[in-house]
Amino acid sequence: MDVTISQSTFERALSVAGRAVPSRATLPTLTHVLLQAEPGRLKVAGTDLNLAIITWEEALVSEPGGITVPAKPLAEFISALPDEPIHLRVHRETWTLQIVCGSYETAMKGLDPEEYPILPDLEGDGFALDPEDFRLAIDQVTFAAAADETRPILTGVLIRWEEGHGGGAGGAAALTLAAADGYRLSVKTLPVLRAPVAASEPGSTFSVIVPASTLKEVGRILKGETEPVSMMVLRGRNQVGFRLSRAAVLSQLIEGQFPDFQAIIPKRWETRVEISREALWKACKALSVFARETSNAVRLALIPGEGDQPGQVLLQSRSPEKGETRVAIDALVEGNRLEIAFNVRFLMDVLEAIEGDWVAFEMTTPQSPVKVLSVGDPSFVHVVMPMFL
């Protein structure tokens, strides 16, 4: 292998692929990154066997070939180099990577790339998605997935397709993404630019559970992406892949039955509030100072308006040791007056996920699930359980 690549480009590729490399592994090669020189580009890949991230960067390739090199020391060394062209050359006799950049030169011991896990090519027919739409969908759903492994199924995100039931704007085809942790649920309908041929057949269905951590990595790589991203399922390997213009993410799927999230979403309400998202977020941030002392609890009194007077949402958090905070916000309140309590962190999470200026809350009783909507955006639904007063 004989390659010349810019320092900044190589550093970026190592940073992206290195996120899939475990700090410790029973197989030494898993703490390595794979460097593979191909015509006109350098492939950099990392994997922990559950997640793989692969990047391709333009490079001057004089001789194809490959090697695996310890990921952490390589990334640290490359980041310390000046922003000049880097020359990489592999000595196969000793599996050593020679690195030359200006006056810097090093030799790093590596391994035969044949010892590295096989990473399948993500070529073929998949769902084509707009990169910005997909990145937003990931942000609006993954925060609601469980963080612990008590119920592994809830650490994933359900991605579902039903032919003829896409639900996109104007009847356009769409995927549904859903995540839940037992206390909250986020559901997002994502437009599809193009569906695979098999998915267009009458009665076809598609349902997989992707680790939320995988989708978060995809979301990071999607920033600045302009080309459509392709999502495909490798059924024989129980894997899902996401192909971008200069990168790919491959992940094991989570097996099991995802909860029936449609049954969780409330169908009616007794009290409905429309309120400024920014005003409510700022209030929650102030309330969180004292709420930390009481399991993050904040109390809300929802008061309908009378005559020409607007409705109000009165918020309060209290710490027996430090004091209390009260905030009043004008809002459109319909239906019955209601007092209810929430985990303020849960409120802030969903308010950060919503892009619109106004947010709506629909509720029945102080103990029942609450539906949260982004006003004017029917593609997003959130459900959160209140706290006991």
Q: Span 189-200, mean pLDDT? A: 82
CA 267 to each of CA 134, 179, 264, 272: distance values in angstroms, whole numbers, following the listed order:
27, 19, 9, 13
User: The dihedral of CA 381, 222, 155, 195: what is its sign?
Assistant: positive
| pLDDT tier for residue 199 given thresholds of 50, 70 and 90 | low
In 3D, which of 348, 345, 384 has the Cα closest to residue 366? Answer: 384
Average pLDDT, the chain: 93
From CA 205, how far away is CA 148, in angstroms rounded?
Answer: 29
Q: Span 295-300, mean pLDDT? A: 95
Q: What is the pLDDT of residue 155?
A: 97
Q: In terms of pLDDT, which residue wins out, 165 or 187?
A: 187
Among the listed ranges 88-92, 130-134, 165-169, 302-306, which one has the minimum average pLDDT value? Answer: 165-169
Q: What is the pLDDT of residue 170?
A: 45
The structural domains of the chain, ordered by start, are 2-115 (3.10.150.10), 127-262 (3.10.150.10), 265-384 (3.10.150.10)
CB atoms inside a 10 Å sphere around CB 207: 13
Q: What is the pLDDT of residue 167?
A: 47
Q: What is the pLDDT of residue 152?
A: 94
From CA 77, how far away is CA 251, in angstroms rounded?
Answer: 28
Q: What is the pLDDT of residue 294?
A: 87
pLDDT value at 4 more than 80: yes
Q: pLDDT tens-digit profile of 49-64?
A: 999 999 999 999 999 9
| pLDDT tier for residue 203 given thresholds of 50, 70 and 90 | low
Sequence letter at residue 14: L
Backbone torsion region of residue 42, taken as left when φ is above 0, otherwise alpha when ψ lies between -120 and 50, otherwise beta? beta
From CA 164, how far away is CA 256, in angstroms rounded?
Answer: 25
Asked if residue 333 lies in contact with residue 304, where contact means CB atoms within 8 angstroms, the answer is yes
Q: What is the pLDDT of residue 216?
A: 97
pLDDT value at 235 more than 80: no
In 3D, which of 188, 166, 198, 175 has the Cα closest to residue 129? Answer: 175
The residues near 176 (Cβ < 8 Å, ≥ 6 apart) are 158, 159, 160, 161, 167, 187, 188, 189, 190
Q: What is the pLDDT of residue 163?
A: 66
| pLDDT tier for residue 169 given thresholds of 50, 70 and 90 | very low
Share of the chain above pLDDT 70, in %: 96
User: At residue 287, what are phi and psi to the nearest 5 degrees?
Assistant: -65, -25
Helices 344-353 & 277-291, crossing angle to 10 degrees?
Answer: 150
Among the listed ranges 34-38, 172-176, 218-222, which one has the minimum average pLDDT value? Answer: 172-176
pLDDT value at 204 more than 80: no
